Structure 1
Amino acid sequence: MAGLQHITEPLSERSVDVNAQGGRYGNALQAASFRGREEVVLLLLERGAHVNAQGGEYDNALHAAKCHEYDEIVRRLLEKSAEVDAHGGDYLGS
C-alpha cells in the first residue's frame, strides 16, 4: 500500500477482494486513507471498496483520513456516503 498505483491497479483489475479484512488498518481502504494516498483511495472506491468497512486502529477509512487531516480524502469518502457518526477505533476522539 505504499501508494504505488502501478502495483495496486493491476492487482485490482484481477479478481482481488478489495474488501479483504485484516492487518493493522483492517482493510486496504483504511490503510490508504491513513497514509494519505488519494489515488489509491480513489482506485479502491472505483473497484468497489466498502466506504464504511469497520476494523483496524481507526475503525474506518473516514476516521483514518480525518485524524491525519487528509481533507481531500475525507471529502472523497463523504461523497461516497461515508458515515460521519460511525463509532469505534482507538483514535475516535482525536
Structure 2
Amino acid sequence: MDFPLIHTNFWDAIIAVPVVMTVTQLLKVFFKVPKIYIPTIALAVGLIISVFISHRHNLVAGLFMGWFYGYAAIGSYASLKTTIITYRKKKN
C-alpha cells in the first residue's frame, strides 16, 4: 500500500486548527459538555472538517490530517491555558 501524498497548505497550517478550537469551544459553551469529553469532541470535529471539507477526495489523507487538526487544537488549547494560568500567578 502506498502512502497518500499530503500537501500541507495555508488552510491546514493557519485556518483549520483555530476553526477546530473555536467550534469545540462553542459546543462546550452551548451544550454544557463535561470537560472530560472535550478532547474527543475536538478530535471528532477535526476529523469531520478534514474528511468532508479539506480532503474530501482522499479518505486516508482526510483521516490523517483530521487527527492532526484535532490533536493540534487540543495541544494549542492546553498550551494557551497553561500560559495564561502561569502569567496570572506570576502577576499576583
TM-score under structure 1 length normalisation: 0.28
- Compare the two structures and name the one with the higher helix fraction: 2
TM-score under structure 2 length normalisation: 0.28
Which of these two proteins has the greater Rg computed from alpha carbons? 2
